[in-house]
């Protein structure tokens, strides 16, 4: 896919393998237009579909998005209901399209608090994803928090390996992202400059990129600009170059 990447001006010899995005700004986008917040989430869902397809076509392997955090339950019942409705709709569509589109879908987070309908759809998408090894993978963080993920991972290790000392490798194997490479680049839209409890273990050496663009307005051009900035970074992972 290098040719597609170069054609779109985004990639080249240093294309990130894994991009993660904090999709911020849906509510503000709607407010600016005098619309209810749920309207912003609806447009944001379409933006996710478009950007996921673009990342796949560029030749990336993974895209991870922050769809609903463990703290988002504090929002109004109307907004939470609208978000869950959109997620259920997306999961239904994924069941129908994953094999045709050659896109694996993985849900990251604590799914125990989700509705039986959504949990059932996640089981179906997991089964389909297992039949698509090597395909582009879209990870959707749902009822996810970085601290919560670490606590669940430690508890899982303690239950499975009583009395043993945990290592970094063992910890990584117990995370929601087990088997997925750490993100090379984390993008946050909407003008805020924080990671908001997102991929706290996995982002240790990720490059961070912030943009004022609200998520519903985020475009393929914005991905190109983020990747161009990523290519200018000198990633040393704590070391020095000779």
Catalytic residues: 24, 72
Beta bridge partners of 186: 20, 208
Q: Are 27 and 40 within 8 A, CB to CB?
A: yes
CA dihedral defined by 127, 68, 114, 90, rounded to 10 degrees?
-50
Q: What angle do CA 61, 155, 205 make, to 5 degrees?
A: 40
- Assess contact for 236 and 219: CB atoms under 8 A: no
Instruction: State whether the Cα torsion 183-234-214-60 is positive or negative.
Output: negative
Host H or E run for residue 113: none
Contacts of 27 (CB under 8 A, 6+ apart): 37, 40, 41, 79
Question: Half-sphere exposure of residue 86, counting CA atoms within 13 Å on the CB side?
Answer: 22
Query: What are the φ/ψ torsions at residue 60 (nearest 5 degrees)?
Result: -70, 160
């Amino acid at each position: 896919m290098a040719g597609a990447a170069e054609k779109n001006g985004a990639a080249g010899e240093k294309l990130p393998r894994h991009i993660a995005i904090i999709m911020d700004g849906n509510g503000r986008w709607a407010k600016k237009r005098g619309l209810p917040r749920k309207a912003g989430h609806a447009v944001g869902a379409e933006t996710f579909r478009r950007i996921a397809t673009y990342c796949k076509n560029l030749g990336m392997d993974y895209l991870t998005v922050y769809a609903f955090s463990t703290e988002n339950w504090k929002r109004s019942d109307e907004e939470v209901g609208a978000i869950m409705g959109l997620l259920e709709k997306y999961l239904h569509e994924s069941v129908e399209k994953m094999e045709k589109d050659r896109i694996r879908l993985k849900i990251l987070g604590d799914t125990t608090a989700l509705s039986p309908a959504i949990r059932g759809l996640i089981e179906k998408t997991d089964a389909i994803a297992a039949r698509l090894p090597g395909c582009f993978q879209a990870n959707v963080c749902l009822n996810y928090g970085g601290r919560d993920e670490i606590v669940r991972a430690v508890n899982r290790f303690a239950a499975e390996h009583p009395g043993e000392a945990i290592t970094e490798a063992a910890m990584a194997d117990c995370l929601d992202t087990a088997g997925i490479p750490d993100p090379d680049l984390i993008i946050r839209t909407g003008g805020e400059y924080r990671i908001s409890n997102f991929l706290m273990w996995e982002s240790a050496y990720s490059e961070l990129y912030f943009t004022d663009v609200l998520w519903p307005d985020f475009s393929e051009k914005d991905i190109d600009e983020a990747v161009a900035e990523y290519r200018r970074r000198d990633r040393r992972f704590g070391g020095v170059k000779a």
